[in-house]
């Protein structure tokens, strides 16, 4: 997708921030941030994309098993869910202006949706990860929320977020150059990767953004300022 220099044409992208595969439509769905649009692009032999959502300061996006698309709007401080064929969508997290109340977000970035359709969003400006259960009007803090810092109860500019089937939250703690794991109901997390300061060594990270697990439990991290993707084998205890 893209590859035609930066621009706003149907065959171009500008500062894409996230991408997922829509297997049903055999296409890519791309958060085309600087063009303020979400684009659907054929997965095979595609020469141009189709704008499916316009006028959105989009960062992270994800899809549930029903084919509903969830998109983070950084500027409006909200996450919207778009069911198939919808162009307006429904606010499922935030949407009450910037702030740190439980019904607000401030500079949200990335999003994860679990099997119960609970929405987890990295609330970057509030240095916390919030969980919004389906149909609720406010969220609960599941990581951070104790102000910006590097303690085990704190986060600094969290970005990528992944949640496992036990509701354990894994989050890239960008400002602290570490990845943290927060078990369900925990008041503090543990450092599973990094935490050795920003740098380019194999045990260091610098400007980490997204993260993903494969089926074998290997963790992949976008180590942005080191211009690399790192793979870690995470030891699970118990």
pLDDT at 100 over 90: yes
Phi-psi domain of 233 (left: phi exceeds 0; alpha: psi -120 through 50; beta: other): beta
Per-residue pLDDT tens digits for 53-72: 999 999 999 999 999 999 99
- As to burial, measured by CB atoms within 10 angstroms (0-12 exposed, 13-18 middle, 19+ buried), residue 185 is exposed
- As to burial, measured by CB atoms within 10 angstroms (0-12 exposed, 13-18 middle, 19+ buried), residue 16 is middle
Q: Is 121:79 a contact under the CB 8 Å cutoff?
A: yes
The closest alpha carbon to 39, from 24, 25, 54, belongs to 54
Q: What does each C-alpha distance from 145 to 70, 80, 162, 194 come to in angstroms?
A: 23, 22, 18, 21
The first and second tokens of residue 100, run together, are: 């740190």
What is the value of pTM for the model shown? 0.94
How many other C-beta atoms are found inside a 10 Å radius of the C-beta of residue 135? 7
The first and second tokens of residue 134, run together, are: 């389906």
CA distance 118 to 121: 10
The DSSP bridge pattern shows strands 16-22 and 27-32 to be antiparallel
* 34 three-state secondary structure: helix
Per-residue pLDDT tens digits for 180-213: 999 999 999 999 999 888 999 888 899 999 999 9
* pLDDT the model gives residue 238: 37
Q: Is 26:43 a contact under the CB 8 Å cutoff?
A: yes
* pLDDT the model gives residue 133: 97
The first and second tokens of residue 192, run together, are: 């599973």
The first and second tokens of residue 131, run together, are: 């969980």
- Mean pLDDT for the chain overall: 94
Per-residue pLDDT tens digits for 105-149: 999 999 999 999 999 999 999 999 999 999 999 999 999 999 999
Could you tell me how far CA 104 lies from the centroid of its own chain?
Answer: 17
The first and second tokens of residue 29, run together, are: 């769905």
How many other C-beta atoms are found inside a 10 Å radius of the C-beta of residue 32? 26
- CATH superfamily, domain 93-233, is TolB, C-terminal domain (2.120.10.30)
Average pLDDT over residues 28-42: 97
Per-residue pLDDT tens digits for 140-177: 999 999 999 999 999 999 999 999 999 999 999 999 99
CA distance 236 to 221: 18
């Amino acid at each position: 997708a893209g590859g035609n220099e930066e621009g706003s044409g149907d065959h171009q992208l500008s500062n894409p921030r996230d991408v997922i595969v829509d297997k049903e439509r055999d296409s890519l769905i791309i958060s085309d941030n600087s063009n303020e649009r979400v684009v659907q692009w054929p997965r095979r032999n595609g020469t141009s994309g189709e704008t499916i959502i316009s006028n959105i300061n989009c960062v992270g996006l994800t899809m549930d098993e029903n084919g509903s698309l969830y998109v983070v709007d950084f500027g409006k401080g909200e996450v919207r869910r778009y069911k198939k064929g919808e162009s307006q969508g429904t606010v499922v997290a935030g949407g009450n202006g910037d702030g740190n109340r439980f019904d607000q977000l401030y500079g949200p970035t990335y999003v994860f949706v679990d099997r119960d359709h609970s929405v987890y969003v990295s609330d970057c400006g509030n240095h916390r990860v919030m969980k919004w259960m389906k149909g609720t009007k406010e969220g609960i803090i599941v990581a951070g929320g104790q102000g910006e810092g590097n303690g085990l109860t704190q986060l600094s500019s969290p970005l990528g977020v992944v949640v496992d089937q036990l509701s354990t939250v894994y989050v890239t703690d960008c400002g602290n150059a570490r990845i943290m794991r927060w078990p369900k109901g925990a008041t503090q997390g543990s450092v599973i990767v990094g935490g050795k300061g920003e740098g380019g060594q194999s045990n260091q990270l610098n400007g980490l953004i997204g993260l993903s697990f494969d089926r074998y439990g290997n963790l992949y991290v976008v180590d942005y300022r080191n211009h690399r993707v790192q793979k870690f084998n995470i030891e699970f205890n118990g």
